[in-house]
Amino acid sequence: MYLPRSLISHLYTQLVRTYQPHDSPVLILSSLDPDAICACRIFAALLKRDYIPHKIQPVAGYEDVKRAGETLVRPMKTTEGGGGGVVICLGVGGLVDLSSMLGLDSDDPTESMGGVDVWVLDARRPWNLHNVFGGQPPIMPLQETDANIRRKVPGVDKGCIQRAYKPGKGGVIVFDDGDIVDELNAERDAYCALVDMPEVDDDEDGEDDEDDDEHDEIEDDHTSTSKKRKSWSDRDDDESSDEDDERPRQRRRSNSGSAIASPNRTPPSSQPSSPPPQAKQPTARQLRKKLLALRRSHESVLEKYYGIGNSYSEPISSLAYSLASELGREDNDMLWLAIVGVTSLELSGHTSTGLGTSRPKAHHLPNDYHKSWKATRSSRTYALLRDEVRRQNPPRLEDGSLFMGSGSPTSPSDNSIRLSPDPRFLLLRHWSLYDSMLHSPYLASRLHVWRDDGVKRLHKLLAKMGVSLTQCKQTYTHMDMELKKMLRERLLQYAGVYGLDDIVPTGNGHATYDQEGWGFIRSWGWKAQLSAIDVGVILGAILDVGDSARATAKSSSGTYNGSTQSTDKPIDVADRSEVLIPRFFAAYDALGPNHSAQLIAAIPTAQHLLRSIHRTGSSLMGKKQLRHLRAFRLGVVKDGPDLGLFANSPGALVKLALWLGESIEVNESSKRGAGESTPLVIAALDELRGTYLIVGTGGGIGSVSDTEAKKEKVEAREKRRAEKEDKRKKKQQEREKRRQLRRTALGDDADYEEEDDDTESESDESSDGDDEDAEEDKQAKIRGYGHNRFGLCFQEVVEETKARLKIDSFDHCVVEVQKEDLQGFLEGLSFKSVVGR
């Protein structure tokens, strides 16, 4: 079932009204990414305000979900002795059948889902349609014996929850962010039709027509068998036999529903005045074929949807904040959590076409670079967040006058959120200007800092800006104040020379429309001041690396955290969740309203992660260790001081792949012009488990630049069509005048020749340019064009090569492959279409 966005507060309001002190606590299952952690914080704050006890259980992958379903969810079922309850899944299970994974399904059709309601908020796509349009407990009377009859749940229409729906009976409920209502109408109709369709075996599929006689004999045998079953009726055998002999002739010679044909009836060919015969009733075989064809048609709709590849939609932290706003519970803390969650998606590579980079073109969007997912929706979301910041944090008169001083705290108790035109540098306020610029993926990819020439280019940029190396290598807080004030103006002055057109947003902040693309910063009194981008980087480092002590525990021999690596252990010996789950609570605590000290303490960990990405990425690019295969580029990390980090952390490996992907994309676009993003596969050797951790990034097609380009094409096409229409009307008027003159001079017979000429000219004119427009839009109109298909391709290669593969991440493009199977796995993958076409 799915909850439309217009009723986003319906379930939570019902929970508050019906919750009793003796009921089970609300269980929150959260994935280990910053967006889900921010949403978890918002839900926990809402439940705490309403005095509803809750339990938070982080899950690192599907194995953890199954374990939580067995130990935490099943005991809640009424059929297991529990009292039911609510399970909230944040970033968990949108791609799989949750009722089966959590142990809520049952072989008994009369058994409900145990009174457990599962709320699902997930930005990953495509949805598992059983969660969206199914996921409801079967309601069947005790005497019901037909399994093909689906009973409707009150308040649910084709999976859509209505206002009359009353929770508590159990079921999987998906929170719709707008995609289901707008984009899944065909899938909804196909799914509901398949559910209501009777079960039909397709074992006769593909039979030739020459087998019809044999099928008729089988039907005759079946008919005789049916007669024997009816012998209890004491009917006369001869009468039954006569009726059976007469019935086939009736089917051949008479219409359905008509009287029995007379044996002396003249054939229709000799009676031309007789009415035409009506269509005969289709046989059972024909009906069966028609039903099978209809079933295949509906199944093909669902298969096409599942085959479009992975993508990401609206962040769940934004959806959680919408729920709080609908309830009237929003505050500055929840707003900051939503901002951090939305901003973190840019750092995680979650785009509208899947896991990958999204590089907007400068001539399309010079002022807004916060559009890595769903360009139109992203723009609206950021605009709404900026409006919320202004509403809850009224701006001061001096705001916007200084580059870094626009959000300066005014008192020790100032916890306000401000807008600031920050450049695209990471950890600028907590690092030196030089290190912040060097380790920022945006600037590194455009200056080619993995080469000596790129580092010299960075030095020249700083020199032109009037910043010496001595000053820029000092901690930013110790830099000269005048340099800080003039930094933004000098970046705008010299950015175009080095292809850094959108390195800082434009606008002076005197009007709301001038703040498009501005970042968000928050103050914790005089203790700290952090931007949303910096908090996202720090949270990612906590989840990917751990605490500061582990960040420094590295060795060039390939050991990590003091562990000696070996190759004699199978893939399933080590459990990453044992390491990742404690990191979840560290990141969760760091997001507390008064826990800025924990964020500040984790800054060295974030700096270590950025250095490792820069060091390893520069090594792969500088040594040209990225091989160009048929469908993607391949890079393998087998050694180096940071091998243990990338082999043990999927998030760190994803960030390395994004750094490399953006560098390759910018480098190739400078040579051949702007093009599509390059699919990339990065593998890191994990000697401890004897496996390779692999991530596949791609997509980028359909990102902001492509969306804007398509929009321009549509506008240009409409303009051409309007011009054609005006030209056609003018010609039509001229033809009418000529026709009147010819009619006056020659009579009405002149119209025929004139009309033929007009028709030919209109046909030539209308076809002009249509073929070109159709060819341009043919690819773009295909659903899933440019989506990341690595997850689907990984599964296909496993079926073909029998490689030992483990998919435990919620992002299906992150997998583990046995060390010995890597070569065959990559060879099979190179022949797949890893990006939707």
b/e 551-573 (16+ beta carbons within 10 angstroms → b): beebeeebbbeeeebeeeeebee
Whether 678 and 731 map to the same domain: the answer is no
pLDDT band per the 50, 70, 90 thresholds, residue 369: very low
Q: Which residues pair with 161 in a beta bridge?
A: 156
pLDDT band per the 50, 70, 90 thresholds, residue 250: very low
Whether 753 and 645 map to the same domain: the answer is no
Q: Give the model confidence (pLDDT) of 376-387 as tens digits.
A: 567 788 888 999
CA distance 548 to 306: 41
Q: Which of 31, 40, 33 is nearest to 61 (CA)?
A: 31
Whether 712 and 734 map to the same domain: the answer is yes
Give the orientation angle of helix 577-590 with respect to helix 532-544, to 10 degrees: 150
Q: From the CB of residue 527, how many other CB atoms can be counted at a distance below 10 Å?
A: 12
Burial of 474 (0-12, 13-18, 19+ CB in 10 A): middle
Whether 751 and 669 map to the same domain: the answer is no
User: For residue 264, is it within any domain?
Assistant: no
Does residue 89 have a pLDDT over 80? yes
User: For residue 430, is it within any domain?
Assistant: yes
Give the model's pLDDT for residue 203: 56
Q: Which of 311, 342, 328 is nearest to 39 (CA)?
A: 342
CA distance 425 to 440: 5
Does residue 723 have a pLDDT over 50? yes
CA distance 748 to 738: 13
Q: How far is CA 3 from CA 119, 181, 246, 690, in A?
A: 9, 10, 57, 44
CA distance 92 to 584: 14
CA distance 41 to 588: 7
Give the domain-ending residue among 500, 517, 543.
543
Give the model's pLDDT for residue 96: 93
Q: From the CB of residue 471, how many other CB atoms can be counted at a distance below 10 Å?
A: 16
- Radius of gyration, alpha carbons of the chain: 33
User: For residue 504, is it within any domain?
Assistant: yes
b/e 744-776 (16+ beta carbons within 10 angstroms → b): eeeeeebeeeeeeebeeeeeeeeeeeeeeeeee
Q: Give the model confidence (pLDDT) of 198-224 as tens digits.
A: 877 665 544 444 444 444 444 444 444
Q: From the CB of residue 106, how many other CB atoms can be counted at a distance below 10 Å?
A: 16
Does residue 101 have a pLDDT over 50? yes
Render 1-47 in DSSP notation, one character per residue. Answer: -EE-GGGTTHHHHHHHHH--TTSPPEEEEE-SSHHHHHHHHHHHHHH
User: For residue 228, is it within any domain?
Assistant: no
Whether 513 and 524 map to the same domain: the answer is yes
User: For residue 54, is it within any domain?
Assistant: yes
User: For residue 598, is it within any domain?
Assistant: no
Q: How far is CA 503 from CA 366, 489, 634, 660, in A?
A: 9, 12, 29, 19
Helices and strands of the chain, counted as H and E runs = 30, 21
* Residue that the structure tokens 């005991």 belong to: 75
What value, to the nearest 5°, has the Cα angle with vertex 499 and ends 493 and 503? 65
The whole-number average pLDDT for the span 96-121 is: 83
Q: Contacts from 720-726 at CB under 8 Å and sequence distance 24+?
A: 720/769, 724/765, 724/766, 724/768
Lowest mean pLDDT among 25-29, 184-188, 785-789, 796-800: 785-789
Burial of 419 (0-12, 13-18, 19+ CB in 10 A): buried
Lowest mean pLDDT among 132-136, 250-254, 628-632: 250-254
Whether 773 and 819 map to the same domain: the answer is no
CA distance 601 to 589: 12
Total domain count for the chain? Answer: 4
Q: Which CATH number characterizes residue 815's domain?
A: 3.10.310
Q: From the CB of residue 581, how many other CB atoms can be counted at a distance below 10 Å?
A: 16
User: For residue 249, is it within any domain?
Assistant: no
Q: Give the model confidence (pLDDT) of 281-300 as tens digits.
A: 888 888 888 899 999 999 99
Render 723-781 in DSSP notation, one character per residue. Answer: HHHHHHHHHHHHHHHHHHHHHHHH-TTHHHHHHHHHHHHHHHHHHTTHHHHHHHHHHHT
Give the domain-ending residue among 543, 565, 586.
543
Give the model's pLDDT for residue 219: 45
Whether 818 and 794 map to the same domain: the answer is yes
Whether 162 and 92 map to the same domain: the answer is yes
Could you tell me the residue range of the domain that residue 660 belongs to? 607-702+786-829
Bond from prior residue into 277 cis (ω within 30 degrees of 0):
no
pLDDT band per the 50, 70, 90 thresholds, residue 160: very high
Q: Give the model confidence (pLDDT) of 595-613 as tens digits.
A: 889 999 999 999 999 999 9
CA distance 709 to 786: 15
Q: Which CATH number characterizes residue 141's domain?
A: 3.40.50.2300
Give the domain-ending residue among 312, 344, 376.
312
Does residue 247 have a pLDDT over 50? no
pLDDT band per the 50, 70, 90 thresholds, residue 405: very low
The whole-number average pLDDT for the span 305-309 is: 91
Q: Give the model confidence (pLDDT) of 488-531 as tens digits.
A: 889 988 888 888 888 888 766 555 656 777 889 998 888 888 99
User: For residue 265, is it within any domain?
Assistant: no
pLDDT band per the 50, 70, 90 thresholds, residue 671: low
Whether 520 and 655 map to the same domain: the answer is no
Give the model's pLDDT for residue 782: 64
- Side-chain-side CA neighbours of residue 301 (13 Å): 18
pLDDT band per the 50, 70, 90 thresholds, residue 256: very low
Whether 765 and 729 map to the same domain: the answer is yes
Whether 729 and 677 map to the same domain: the answer is no
Whether 679 and 715 map to the same domain: the answer is no
Residue predicted with more confidence, 119 or 568: 119
Q: Give the model confidence (pLDDT) of 673-700 as tens digits.
A: 555 567 899 999 998 889 999 999 985 5
Q: Give the model confidence (pLDDT) of 569-591 as tens digits.
A: 444 455 677 788 889 999 999 99
The whole-number average pLDDT for the span 95-113 is: 79
